[in-house]
Each structure stands twice: as C-alpha cells, then as structure tokens.
C-alpha cells in the first residue's frame, strides 16, 4: 500500500489567514474561531510585525487588519502592501472599531475587499463575513 492511497489533508488545502491587531485577547479569540473552521491562522500584534511577515514571503489568502494601532495604522499598512504588491491575490479586510463613513471611505481608497466593525460583530459573524467576502472575490 503506497502513501498516495491516504486522503490528502495537508496544510496546502487550508486557507491561510493573517490577523493584524494590537489586541492580544481578540487575536486569541479569532485564532480559536478560525482554526476550528479549518483555517491556517497567523497573527501579528503590530503593523510592523505583519509587514515583515509579508515582506519575508508569507502569502495569506486573507488579511484582516485593525486600523488603529501604534506606529503605522492599518490603512497605511494596506497602502504599503498595495504599493509593494506583496499579496496581490489576497482578500484584504479591515476589522476595526472605526465605523465612521470617513474611515470607510479612506479604506475604499485602498481597494479593501471588506470592512467589518468589531464592536458590532461577534467572532462567528466575523467568520461568516470573511467567508462571504472571500467567496465573492474568488468567483
């Protein structure tokens, strides 16, 4: 019996997701939620750490970033990612408490694929929204 008879369950089949947020509690919560849903989850607790991961070659299928963080904010991060073409095929979603129309308009300038307001969304809803945005982008 060869190894090829085994069902393939490699991490290559898993969607890779990167969360960038300075709130460790939230990161832990999302890691749990998305891991259980079959994602390969990585986190960065600052835009600097997230940017370094991407520049070092990490290619997530989905990037979720908060906006308000120390140093470079999440939208500046997205601007840098776009400029450097780091993850041209990734779905980019802002996950933030900034729900004002100004923030949303600013995010749209960076061609983000989605915008989720944390304060009004529980983790299972975030997961459902991410799935919906991902599917609509990948059709």
117 neighbors 97 (Cβ within 8 angstroms): yes
- With a pLDDT cut of 90, the percent of the chain lying above it is 71
Q: What is the pLDDT of residue 139?
A: 63
**Average confidence (pLDDT) over 112-126:** 91
CA 125 to chain centroid, in Å, comes to 15
Q: What is the pLDDT of residue 120?
A: 87
CA distances from 53 to 48, 57, 78, 122, 136 (A): 9, 7, 14, 27, 26
Among the residues of the chain, which ranges form H helices?
A: 24-36, 47-55, 74-84, 101-109, 123-138
**Average confidence (pLDDT) over 92-118:** 91
**Average confidence (pLDDT) over 48-71:** 95
* pTM of this structure: 0.87
Report the 10 Å Cβ neighbour count for 119. 8
Can you tell me the distance from the alpha carbon of 113 to that of 92, in angstroms, rounded to the nearest whole number?
A: 5
User: Which is more confidently placed, 119 or 11?
Assistant: 119
* Confidence class for position 98, pLDDT limits 50, 70, 90: confident
Q: What is the pLDDT of residue 12?
A: 57
Can you tell me the distance from the alpha carbon of 119 to that of 95, in angstroms, rounded to the nearest whole number?
A: 10
Q: What is the pLDDT of residue 9?
A: 47
- With a pLDDT cut of 70, the percent of the chain lying above it is 90
């Amino acid at each position: 019996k060869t190894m090829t008879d085994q069902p393939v369950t490699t991490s290559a089949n898993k969607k890779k997701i990167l969360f960038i947020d300075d709130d460790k509690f939230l990161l832990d919560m999302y890691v749990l939620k998305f891991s259980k849903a079959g994602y390969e989850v990585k986190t960065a607790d600052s835009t600097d750490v997230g940017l370094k991961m991407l520049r070092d070659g990490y290619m997530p299928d989905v990037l979720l970033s908060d906006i308000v963080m120390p140093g470079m904010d999440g939208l500046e991060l997205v601007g840098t990612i776009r400029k450097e073409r780091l993850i041209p095929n990734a779905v980019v979603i802002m996950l933030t408490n900034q729900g004002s129309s100004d923030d949303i308009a600013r995010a749209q300038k960076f061609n983000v694929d989605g915008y989720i307001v944390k304060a009004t969304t529980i983790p299972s809803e975030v997961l459902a929204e991410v799935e919906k945005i991902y599917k609509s982008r990948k059709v």
